[in-house]
Amino acid sequence: MRWCVVLTVLCANVVKLQNVVFRGGQCVTCPDSSSLPASRRRLSVSAHTMAANCIFCQICGDNPGGTELLASNEDLVVFRDIKPAAKHHYLVVSREHITDAKALTSAQKPLLQRMIATAEQVLRDQGADMSDTRLGFHWPPFHSISHLHLHAISPTSDMGLMARIVFKQNSWWFVSPEYVMSRL
């Protein structure tokens, strides 16, 4: 019996992890969802819609929700995390839809360097304590949103128990920019 599985994890946002099954908007578990029973087709369709309608691509594009951009250039945008883990919590997002940090190639080293520099610049601009910051990427399959984004958080001493778990540096699920750079 084929049907889609949407994993959920406890995250700062308590969000659905769909990328395990829905790679690039294509469901790898049930590519022909029309053969599914109605109840399961509904689940499949809603999950497909979520994967096809990438919220971060929308913010980088028309930005229909009017998300405030703290920085924007030809390949990156920066905005606030909707569930901040500390006083300063920003997302540096590539304009290009790259699934995650693991998908980066050596040719994208300069992009990664610009993401790090932009994260530090925005933290500085916003008056964050630069002696107490954390930068990091989700590591697959533990994405919240399947679109590359660098979390920039400060001060880490503000972080609650759940945030300390979700954004635990160099865990299975959240890694430092240095780690990502070392793989390229």
Q: Which residues bind Zn ion (CB under 5 A)?
A: 54, 56-57, 97, 144, 147
End-to-end alpha carbon distance in the chain = 39
Is 149 part of the annotated catalytic residue set?
yes
Dihedral (Cα; 164, 76, 8, 168), 10-degree rounding: -20
Q: Which residue is listed with tokens 């919240």?
A: 144
Q: Which is nearer to Zn ion, 114 or 147 (CB)?
A: 147
Shortest CB 34 distance to Zn ion, Å? 26
What is the C-alpha separation between 153 and 89, in angstroms, rounded?
Answer: 4
Token pair listed for 105: 């190639």
Q: Which is nearer to Zn ion, 42 or 96 (CB)?
A: 96
Shortest CB 14 distance to Zn ion, Å? 12
CA Rg value for the chain: 17
Say which of 88, 143, 149, 151 is annotated catalytic. 149
Shortest CB 131 distance to Zn ion, Å? 23
Active site residues per annotation: 149
